[in-house]
Chains A and B, each alone.
Chain A
């Protein structure tokens, strides 16, 4: 195990940021800490880095008890959401900072910096100041700077959160490839479920200071252990007291099997996708059921607004029984009011809810 976290808890005043966190992260793994803003994931990352001190519990890094070790002795690479570029140093100076602090010979620093700049595709920008780089370039520089010290673990706090959508997607794929090349144990924090699903080997879902579920992306997506995990990882809708994914519903214009009868209340086309609001006949008071299918499917079935339809979850669809009162991601997103200092504050991309 590269990182072993046991019984970690942290409070900011009255606000419980983390409670009873136990987590093992294997060497070489790429792990995502996923959850809504203010859920405690950034605090956990900062505790691993030594930038924050846990009230209780212990942190072990590569077999060494790091609980009371200061950040500078943990040999951890940390990448901040807003880059934390050293503005008065050029790109090479930024990347070589940790090596200079370690008093490595000048020639070695130069060679290592050149090698890292190559790795992050910034070789031609070595003499530029951070202010002259784009956001994506600055973040790659920050990554090279963190990798320069050959860290035991690489920690990234919402690394792509401040970038625009296209750069985000590009860097995301690039991080995955980089990890496959460098193989350093990596933990990154994100509130973007798509990012976690796409990049991570393993996802740790954190909500309200607790771990909700740990597992590989597909397992979490297919077998969510709670309503929260189900609704946070993707769009959900409610059918017969269960949460189910809108694309896991079979819809026909004639009765079949145990299908629930209903009527198409709204027909909304978004790109290649068609989203339907279906009002169930048996339960008119309930909010309409959301169904998504491809446009080709909708056309083939001749679906239109007002048409009577029959619904049922497809075989093997992931479902979670709703326990009243329901606490889905939607509700917990409003909580908590008070954010710990330094936690990301921008809003969470809203999954679609019924």
Chain B
């Protein structure tokens, strides 16, 4: 029995070391270095940096853009998931593949394509919108659009497997007990997918906070007007002077911290090993 167990244990330890080492070199160490660089000169300069109006504005813009992007993705994400799982229609597989496009395409390309459609100078849609008084490109709506585009698949890919797993019988039972479509969704479907949905929302939020490439193209990155936190980090990082680097590192640290906290909360609340109940 011991003979049989020994190589298994060796394999297990080997795998553990490999995985932890990989994660350490790729994720943990670099993030720790950001934290170290942030606090290299103590706490006071960091707090001072975070009090700068540009920094406060950038975070407010980032948070509100991320919030609206997540709201949009949650509503459309659940809708698209229901469509893909519960209905068969021509082009369903194509739609299914299309949903993953934002993950595959570079955010820069996303940004450029949004400019082509919504810019007042290049796109007829953008032109008409601007005439109606809604500027999209180089304004918050463009930032929200770009962020929503990039994080679209995250909710859908979390919700679809749960919908497939729960099947349709619970919904049918609710219908036969007198529930309308809306009641069935609110009382049966939504509670059944809530953990998958929450996880998708958090991933989407984390991704939205950190979006850079697409936002850079569509926003223009003007401080105090369209500069999000990630754009601020990039701008300050490239400027000279220790104050600028501290602002860059502090903002980067806060971005990482928010994402980590969100994931920790969800992981803690999520029932065992992600089996949705």
Binding site for B on A (CB under 8 A): 49-51, 70-78, 80, 82, 84-89, 97-98, 101-102, 129, 131, 142, 145-146, 148-149
Which A residues lie within 8 Å of B183 (CB)? 101
Q: In the bound complex, do residue B172 and residue A86 qualify as a contact, i.e. CB atoms below 8 Å apart?
A: no
Query: Which residue of B166, B172, B187, B188 is within 8 Å of A51 (Cβ)?
Result: B172
Interface assignment of B192: CB less than 8 Å from any CB of chain A: yes
Task: Sort A-B residue pairs by CB-CB distance and give the 4 closest, nearest first.
Answer: A98-B177, A84-B169, A84-B173, A78-B176
Q: Are B188 and A86 in contact (CB under 8 A)?
A: yes
B residues whose Cβ falls under 8 Å from a Cβ of A:
166, 169-170, 172-180, 183, 187-188, 191-192, 194, 277
Given A88-B191, A88-B192: A71 in contact with B169 (beta carbons within 8 A): no
Chain B positions within 8 Å of A82 at CB level: 169
Picked from B166, B175, B177, B188, the residue with its CB within 8 Å of the CB of A70 is B175
Q: Give A131 to B170 CA distance when docked, in angstroms.
A: 14
Closest approach, in angstroms, between the C-beta of A208 and any C-beta of chain B?
A: 26
Q: A84-B170, A86-B170 are in contact. Are A72 and B192 (CB under 8 A)?
A: no
**CB atoms of B175 and A51 under 8 A apart:** yes
B170 touches A72 (CB 8 A): no
B175 x A72 contact (CB < 8 A): yes
Bound state CA distance, A148 and B173, in angstroms?
Answer: 13
Nearest-neighbor residue (CB-CB) of A102 within chain B: B178
Closest to A50 in B: B176
Contact among B169, B172, B176, B191 with A77 in the assembled complex (CB-CB below 8 Å): B176
15 A-B pairs whose Cβ atoms sit less than 8 Å apart in the complex:
A50-B176, A71-B176, A72-B175, A75-B178, A77-B176, A86-B173, A86-B174, A87-B166, A87-B192, A97-B187, A102-B178, A131-B277, A146-B176, A148-B177, A149-B177
Neighbouring A residues of B192 by C-beta, 8 Å: 87-88
Which residue of chain B lies nearest to A145 when distances are taken between CB atoms in the complex? Answer: B177
Q: How far is the CA of A85 from the CA of B172 in the complex (A)?
A: 11
For A142, what are the chain B residues with a Cβ–Cβ distance below 8 Å? 173
Check A71–B175 contact: CB distance below 8 A.
yes
Q: For the complex, what is the distance from the CA of A229 to the CA of B277, rounded to whole Å?
A: 44
A-B contact sample (17 more), CB < 8 A, given A86-B173, A97-B179, A97-B187: A49-B176, A51-B172, A71-B176, A72-B177, A72-B179, A82-B169, A85-B170, A87-B277, A88-B194, A88-B277, A89-B191, A97-B174, A98-B178, A101-B174, A101-B177, A101-B178, A145-B177
CB–CB A71/B188 < 8 A: no
